[in-house]
Structure 1
Amino acid sequence: MSLKHGQSSESPRTTSGFLPLGARKIPAGNLTKRENDMERQAVASSHIASIGYSPGSEILEVEFRNGTIYEYYNVPEVIYEQLMNASSIGQFFNANIRNAFANQRA
């Protein structure tokens, strides 16, 4: 099942308020002008409903079961592939993505 959503104009952030080492800050003007909605794929996880990825922009989009959607920036494609192939998507996400990449609620 593929899902789509719109986009918010909030600034990228991390839990600590700092960008991860090596991350690029995304100018706020670029956040509101994505041409295509990202398609997400439903996943088997108790907390994550669906995941989408754009290799061109390196944006990972995660929809949680409670309905919230977050975008994670500058996520290498290899991390996305590892996430989708993980035996536990939620554990991989928490250990390798949640606090490692700049993000914003969509």
Structure 2
Amino acid sequence: MRRKPVQSHAIASIGFDAATNQLEIEYIGGDVYVYFAVPASVHQTLMESDSVGRFVNEHIKPHYAWQDGE
């Protein structure tokens, strides 16, 4: 999955696979997590958010299953 760099103190890049609704987040420290069943609309809102890190903490982590991506 190709990730795009984002402006964030905590997150380096974000990728999204619309075919599987998987969201991939690379954190500044290098850890990568994959979140499952994320709607495309949530990904779009995340990418447009003023604070990517806050959006992930409030709207992604508490609501979607995840696993280490690498």
TM-score computed with the length of structure 1 as normaliser: 0.64
Which protein shows a greater Rg?
1
Secondary structure at the counterpart of residue 104 of structure 1: strand
Question: Which sections of structure 1, spanning at least 5 residues, go unmatched?
Answer: 1-37
| Residue 99 of structure 1: how far off its partner (Å) | 1.8
For residues 57 and 70 of structure 1, the distance between their equivalents in structure 2, rounded to whole angstroms, comes to 15
Q: Which has the higher helix share?
A: 2
Within 5 Å, give how 1:15-94 maps onto structure 2: 38-94=1-57
Aligned residues: 69
Q: Which 4+ residue blocks in structure 1 deviate beyond 3 angstroms?
A: none
- Kindly, what percent of the aligned residue pairs are identical? 38
**C-alpha distance after superposition, 1:33-54 (max 9, x if no partner):** xxxxx00000000000000000
State the AA in 2 paired with 1:81.
Q
| Residue 95 of structure 1: how far off its partner (Å) | 0.5
For residues 51 and 82 of structure 1, the distance between their equivalents in structure 2, rounded to whole angstroms, comes to 12
For residues 64 and 76 of structure 1, the distance between their equivalents in structure 2, rounded to whole angstroms, comes to 21
